[in-house]
A and B are shown apart, each in its own frame.
Chain A
């Protein structure tokens, strides 16, 4: 399995405070990496760095040659403005294709096909003509996940995908993501608060901590001092 992203000795600051120091880890094809950590531990700063929205103060993020920007899908946290946005589900999903259009102004038939495929994959066909603002939180997340798949098929960044969802929908969301990882071989990078669920599904864990961050496989994590703190004696 090839390495997709390699991070070497990263350092990030946020409003002049160092939030991440000397952080190294790799993301390989087929991984399911969960980034966990307390509030303010630098999860969102690191996500911005990985998405290329913020450059690190020190260190390097090396993208493999076979990972282009348009191979990356992203499920951001919802903004308040989106909650009552008048757009149909199809319009939202199709907008994921934008990054492959370049300067060409309109979507092609192939773009629309891709949108339909992803709508089908996530089982939201019956919502296609509905308005995004009339959907439940879980349905909205599925729509945004379909859009993310339209944008990129190799790597998915999920920023707290289950925040605000009820337990049943949360479970469905986790299953869906697991399925994308196992069946469709999409590499997953998920930022999460929920350490227990993270350990249940992820293959690798990155635990950001102001003193000592942890990176390794889930099993290593559970046996590590940080993991022991959350999981107790195994």
Chain B
């Protein structure tokens, strides 16, 4: 077992995947708690599709750094989707679905017309060898930035997640912190998309949060559990993806799925004892 792991991580691409993936899982799981509780899960999903569209278009026009080009597009989309969700007058969920499918359609069309067919699969479903050294460095810097921002704004994020009206009324600029959450989410999605694939990246945001909420009852423990579960599931998913040559993103989601089933059972048990 140990030997197999050592052999596995003697490959440079595995080390890169491990570093990048762990950091992305960590960021996604922290933000995910707030997004799920605020009923913003769909924003994560919508953003990943917008990210795919941006990435496909950027690759098609031969941009040197498609990932970096995707960032501003996804950040703008994040603010836009947030606005839609906050504005009760438009049907928010429908609007998000419209935007995300449109972006997906544009991305796929542009990619196939320009002959990028081989890459489409890895953009959509992720790939273990997708990350080069530049990507890992880029991803690490962004992840560390996201983590620091999260810790710094932790109490504010709690307040606007639990009760935005109260925060606003007592003088906290809830709008600003919503924007920060949206910005950090957009960054996390772009950074994680190459490995997880844009179809599945939102699972990294949603699964750990839902899993930890099943078993924990305090916000701080929910956050810590969510982060731990996310990193653990990522590691198991990554190694099994290598062992069985399965798609990375899908393997990680399946591990998360199993973890959720276990959490549901544990949650039932904990509730009974209370």
Contact = CB atoms under 8 A, between A and B. Distances in A.
A105 B152 CA distance: 5
What 8 pairs between A and B have smallest CB-CB spacing?
A131-B217, A51-B169, A69-B171, A87-B219, A88-B218, A99-B171, A151-B170, A99-B170
B167 interface: yes
B172 A105 contact: no
Contact of A98 (B39, B159, B222): B159
A86 B169 contact: no
Interface stretch (A22-30, A77-85, A223-231): A77-85
Interface stretch (A32-40, A89-97, A171-179): A89-97
Contacts, number: 86
Nearest to A87: B219
Contacts of B170: 69-70, 72-74, 96, 98-99, 151-152
Given A53-B168, A98-B170, 4 more contacts: A86-B213, A87-B158, A87-B218, A106-B155
A53 B165 CA distance: 9
A52 interface: yes
Nearest to A111: B155
A137 interface: no
Interface in B168-186: 168-172
B2 to A, nearest CB: 37
A203 to B, nearest CB: 23
A202 B51 CA distance: 56
Contacts of B274: 134
Nearest to A104: B155
Nearest to B167: A98
Contacts of B159: 95, 98
